[in-house]
Amino acid sequence: MSHIVDFTIKGLAGRRKPLHCMLDRHLNVFYGLNGSGKTSLIKILHSAMSGDPSSIQKVPFSSATVKIYSINRDETFTRKITRGKERQPSEVEVPSEIESRFEIQEFVQLSLLEERPPSFRWTEEPRVQEGEEPKTTYWNHRYLPTTRLHIAEGMIRTSTRRLLESEQMLTEEQLDAVFAESVERLWSHYSSDLLVEVRRAQEEGLARILESVIAPTERIRKNSTGTPGAEEAYDCLKNFIKRQSSKILLGDYRTFKKRYNQEPNFQLVVADIHKVENKIQQVMTPRDELQSLIERLYTGGKHIDFGDRSITVKDAEGNPISLASLSSGEKHLMRILVETLLAERNSIMIDEPEISMHIDWQRELLATMRTLNPRAQFIVATHSPEIMANVPDERIIPL
């Protein structure tokens, strides 16, 4: 878990003065005209978090210092990078034995590439890894560039990645398919972690129930308080049986209440089920909120089901709609909100979140994201006044 504390960037987009900014723990909106350096800034911060300088080789800046706070370690780490003076092809001395134009060009390119890595990399203090040449730590975060509509980094199959890296122009149908695949994989990744938490809660509950059955006297002695009232316990058990599609007959409330009040061991078993249900509800709440928020924003009465393994969309009449056939704005919204869940307590960086979105959606977007994940740090670059409509002035940083 990590987030950015502050940064200083020199020479950003040709600026004469260094850009220094202390970031808020939760919301930061960088606003500026086209060409003001918004995209470059987001790329530099992403590069600092990932420790990979390759994505900013062509970004216009001279040096950057980024401070990152690790929640798990309760410590701040400083990363620095400086762009050295890059040699121009005319400055490379070509050996006399190389004569052909092709040989000269190949030699010059290799010479420039060999010199670049040592002089252009992130350094970190203090070092997380021990040793003289530690690997740069990857600090967890989410990054959504303007190309986010079709590409989810690390979440597409090898065959699809090859297609994206090929020189041929992809058709609209192929790009739609890539989007659907990447979002499905993102959701599968999130859902898998969710199910692990659900299973853990169920296993802990089962262990307590077994203890109540095997050693009821000991459990009663240790748990003299904390059992729910009869009415709450009855509703919990009724919902549990319904959710499990069980054929167990619970009976009427009066009969249940009489037994519940007379049998302490029965109280403990129901109390254990109550704790499991509350824990599962707590784990599932963000997923339920995501579904509710998207359905509220989507038009046409669409119903979205974020299941354990896949996302399904249906129109108002119940007919299935493929993810690939959603509108551009609907795709962007879904991708951004799924990534918001995945961010957890880390930073999430988004370049131009307003792409393809209606003005009404733009006004609600940041508030919706913060409702979905109030623990994340949002770093947003935009030139849309609507995105900032409800953002406090102190959280807007002009570029």
CATH number at residue 378: 3.40.50.300
On the question of pLDDT at 102 being above 60, the answer is: no
The yes-or-no verdict on residue 258 having pLDDT over 80 is yes
Residue 352 structural domain: 2-84+120-140+344-398
Res 270: pLDDT: 82
- Under the banding of pLDDT at 50, 70 and 90, the label for residue 363 is very high
Comparing C-alpha atoms, which of 271, 257, 258, 275 is closest to residue 216? 271
pLDDT at residue 234, as a whole number: 87
Q: Which of 145-159, 281-295, 321-335, 347-361 has the lowest mean pLDDT?
A: 145-159
Q: Give yes or no: residues 290 and 303 share one domain.
A: yes
In the predicted structure, residue 147 carries a pLDDT above the cut 70: yes
Q: Are residues 350 and 230 in the same domain?
A: no
Q: Domain ends where: 340, 356, 385?
A: 340
Give the distance, in angstroms, between the CA of residue 301 and the centroid of all CA atoms in the same chain.
27
Average pLDDT over residues 250-257: 86
- When mean pLDDT is compared across 15-19, 182-186, 206-210, the lowest value belongs to 206-210
Give yes or no: residues 8 and 37 share one domain: yes
276-302 mean pLDDT: 88
8 A C-beta contact, residue 14 and residue 60: yes
- Provide the pLDDT confidence category of residue 348 given band limits of 50, 70 and 90: very high
Q: List, in order, residues 6 or more apart from 188 with CB less than 8 Å away.
A: 309, 310
Q: Report pLDDT for 376.
A: 96
**In terms of Cα–Cα distance, which of 298, 308, 359 is closest to 333?**
298
Q: Considering only residues 174 and 16, tell me which one the structure prediction assigns the higher pLDDT.
A: 16
Asked, for residue 206, whether it belongs to a domain, the answer is: yes
Residue 386 pLDDT exceeds 80: yes
CA neighbor of 316 nearest in space, from 335, 331, 295? 295
The confidence score (pLDDT) of residue 49 equals 95
The per-residue pLDDT for 162 is: 56
Domain stops at, among 323, 340, 357: 340
Q: What is the 3-state secondary structure (H, E, C) of the chain?
A: CEEEEEEEEECHHHCCCCEEEECCCCEEEEECCCCCCHHHHHHHHHHHHHCCHHHHCCCCCCEEEEEEEECCCCEEEEEEEECCCCCCHHHCCCCCCCCCHHHHHHHHHHHHHHHHHHHCCCEEECCCCCCCCCCCCCCCEEEECHHHHCCCCCCCCHHHHHHHHCCCCCCHHHHHHHHHHHHHHHHHHHHHHHHHHHHHHHHHHHHHHHHHHHCHHHHHHHCCCCCCCHHHHHHHHHHHHHHCCCCCCCCCHHHHHHHHHHCHHHHHHHHHHHHHHHHHHHHHHHHHHHHHHHHHHCCCCCEEEECCCCEEEECCCCCEECHHHCCHHHHHHHHHHHHHHHHCCCEEEEECCCCCCCHHHHHHHHHHHHHHCCCCEEEEEECCCCCCCCCCHHHEEEC
Does 242 share its domain with 308?
yes
β-pair partners for 80: 65, 123
Give the mean model confidence (pLDDT) for residues 111-132. 65
274 shares its domain with 381? no
**Mean pLDDT, range 15-19, rounded to an integer:** 91
What mean pLDDT comes out for the span 48-74? Answer: 92
pLDDT of residue 168: 57
**Same-domain check for residues 22 and 132:** yes
Which is more confidently placed, 69 or 131? Answer: 69
Give the pLDDT band (50/70/90) at residue 391.
very high
Rounded distance, CA 398 to CA 304, Å? 37
**Predicted confidence band of residue 155 (pLDDT cuts 50, 70, 90):** very low
Residue 18 included in any domain: yes
Buried b (16+ CB within 10 A) or exposed e, 233-261: bbebbeebeeeeeeeeeeeeeeebeeebe
**pLDDT greater than 60 at residue 340:** yes
Task: Give me the number of domains the chain comprises.
Answer: 2
Kindly state whether residues 313 and 213 are assigned to the same domain.
yes
Name which residue leads in pLDDT, 268 or 288: 288
The Cβ of residue 307 has, within 10 Å, a number of other Cβ atoms equal to: 11
- 281 and 319, same structural domain? yes
234 and 203 in a common domain: yes
pLDDT over 60 at 36, yes or no? yes
Asked if residue 384 and residue 265 are part of one domain, the reply reads no
Q: How far apart are CA 368 and CA 267, in angstroms?
A: 40
Distance CA(315)–CA(327), nearest Å, equals 13
Mean pLDDT of 10-30: 93
Residue 93 pLDDT > 50, yes or no? yes
pLDDT, residue 78, reads 95
Q: What is the mean pLDDT of the chain?
A: 82
For the ranges 38-42, 87-91, 205-209, the lowest mean pLDDT is seen at 87-91
Proportion of the chain above pLDDT 90, given as a percent: 36
